[in-house]
Amino acid sequence: MTFKTLDDMDLDGKIVLTRVDINVPVENGRVTDTTRIDRIVPTIKDIVARGGKPVMLAHFGRPKGQVVPEMSLRQVVPALSEALGSEVAFVERPDRGTLEGTTGPILIENTRFSPMEEANDPQMAQFLASLGDVYCNDAFSAAHRAHASTEGVARLLPACAGRLMQAELEALEAALGTPKPPVAAVVGGAKVSSKLDLLGNLVTKVQHLIIGGGMANTFLAAQGVNVQASLCEHDLLDTARDILAKAEAAGCAILLPRDVVVAAEFKANPPTRTVKTEEVPEGQMILDAGPDSVAHIKTVLDGCATLIWNGPLGAFEMSPFDAATNAAAAHAAVLTKAGTLVSVAGGGDTVAALNQAGAAEAFSYISTAGGAFLEWMEGKELPGVAALSA
C-alpha cells in the first residue's frame, strides 16, 4: 500500500491535527505507564522541527459519548509535557482562533466525550478539519475504528502517517504484505474461536503455521487425539479440520505439538509430566508444548526468513508452563540478531510473553496495537489506514 509520511508534507506555519494514542493507565490522577506517550514523541518533535504546530487528538477510556470527568485527558498533560520536554497546552473546547493564539504543542479534550466521534459523524469530521491545515495519524492502535478523528477528518485534509504509524505499517508490510519467504507464523492463545479469521488468512500467506496454546488442543482433538481434561473447543472440530484441509491445499505446513507438558491442575509449579501428544494421561490437562516440540519449532525457524508471532505456546502466565514460549522466543531473538530472520510480533498476551522471555527487544518490531494488529493479520482493511492511502 502507498501512504504519505511527514516527509511528504509542507508543515511550516501549519496547524497539524495529530491523532495519537495516549490511552494510558492512570491511578490517583497520575500516569503509571508512559509507554504509549513515549512512542509518539518522535512524531510531535518532528512536526515542531518542521515549523508545524501539533494539535493532538486522542481518546481516553470509554465515556460512551458523555463528559466523564475521570476520563478527562487533562490528567495526562503533566506526563506528556515531561516526555516532550515542553509545556503542553490543554484546550477543552477548541476553535481555530484559540489554537492559533496558543504556543507550543496542544492537547484537545477526549474526542469520545462527543457521541459524534464513534459514529464518525460528518459534522464532527468537518469541525475537526476546520481546526487544522494538515492531518497526521500516529495511532495505528485505533486505525481499525472508523471514527471521526481516525477516518472522517483524514478524508477532508491533506493526510499522512506519523512516525509510529509509519514504522508499524512498514513492519507489517515486511511481514505479511511482501515478506521474504519462507514465512512462519506462530499463533497461540486459548481459543480457536477468537482467531478463526486469522488462521484462515494465514494458511494462504505463510509456509509454516505453528499453533500453540489452548487452541492447539482443538486441532489435536480434530485429528483424533484424546486431549483428556485439556481446554478444547469440541464444537469446532469440523472447523479445525476445514482449516487443516485449506492449509494442505495451499501448501502450508501446520505444526502442532509433538509432546506436551501435562498436570492435573492449573497452578504454579504443580507436579508435571512430559508425554507424547497422543499419550495424555486420564484426568490430566495439556498446559505447554514439550521440548521435542520446541526443538521442531527451532528447526523450522532456522529455515525461515520471516516470522509473525501472535500468542503464547502455553499457559505462560504460570511457571513452568512458560518454558516453550520462552525457548522458542529466545531462539527467534538469536536469529533476528544474526540478521537471518525478520520477526514481527503483536497482541497484548504476545508482548507480555516476549517481555517475560527477555526476547522482545531483539525482535525486528513489536506492535502494541492489539485489535488493529489482529485485524491486519486477518487481512481486513483498516479504515484509519485506508483513509491515508485514499
**Catalytic residue ranges:** 36, 191, 348, 371
Nearest to 288 by CA among 335, 353, 343: 353
**CB 43, CB 6: distance < 8 Å:** yes
Point out which residues pair with 55 in neighbouring strands: 17, 106
Q: Confirm or deny that 350 is annotated as ligand binding.
A: yes
**CB 272, CB 286: distance < 8 Å:** no
**Following DSSP, what letter does each residue of 146-172 receive, concatenated?**
--IIIIIGGGTS-EEE-HHHHHHHHHH
Q: Confirm or deny that 61 is annotated as ligand binding.
A: yes
Angle at 155 between CA 137 and CA 52, to 5 degrees: 45
Length reported for the chain? 390
Contacts of 13 (CB under 8 A, 6+ apart): 51, 52
HSE value, Cβ hemisphere, 13 Å, CA-based, for 12: 1
Q: Confirm or deny that 10 is annotated as ligand binding.
A: no
The three-state (H, E, C) secondary structure of 191-214, written as one string = CHHHHHHHHHHHCCCCCEEEECCH
In angstroms, the Cα distances linking 214 to 49, 257, 283, 289, 372 are: 49, 11, 16, 10, 23
Q: Confirm or deny that 155 is annotated as ligand binding.
A: no
Which own/partner pairs from 334-343 qualify as long-range (CB within 8 Å, at least 24 positions apart)?
334/362, 335/301, 335/302, 336/362, 336/363, 336/364, 337/362, 340/305, 341/301, 341/304, 341/305, 341/306, 341/307, 342/174, 342/175, 342/179, 342/180, 342/305, 342/306, 342/307, 343/306, 343/307, 343/309
Q: Confirm or deny that 217 is annotated as ligand binding.
A: no
Q: Confirm or deny that 346 is annotated as ligand binding.
A: no
Residue 335 DSSP one-character state: H
- State the cell numbers at 110: 477526549
Biggest CA-to-CA distance, the chain: 73
Q: Confirm or deny that 39 is annotated as ligand binding.
A: no
Q: Confirm or deny that 145 is annotated as ligand binding.
A: yes
Q: Confirm or deny that 144 is annotated as ligand binding.
A: no
Q: Confirm or deny that 310 is annotated as ligand binding.
A: no
CA–CA distance, 267 with 206 (Å, rounded to integer): 35
What backbone phi and psi angles, to 5 degrees, belong to 342?
-95, 120
Q: Confirm or deny that 23 is annotated as ligand binding.
A: yes
Q: Confirm or deny that 46 is annotated as ligand binding.
A: no
What backbone phi and psi angles, to 5 degrees, belong to 221?
-60, -35
Residue 239 DSSP one-character state: H
Q: Confirm or deny that 36 is annotated as ligand binding.
A: yes
Q: Confirm or deny that 19 is annotated as ligand binding.
A: no
Q: Which residues are annotated as a binding site for ATP?
A: 195, 317, 347-350
Q: Which residues are annotated as a binding site?
A: 21-23, 36, 59-62, 112, 145, 195, 317, 347-350
Q: Which residues are annotated as a binding site for substrate?
A: 21-23, 36, 59-62, 112, 145
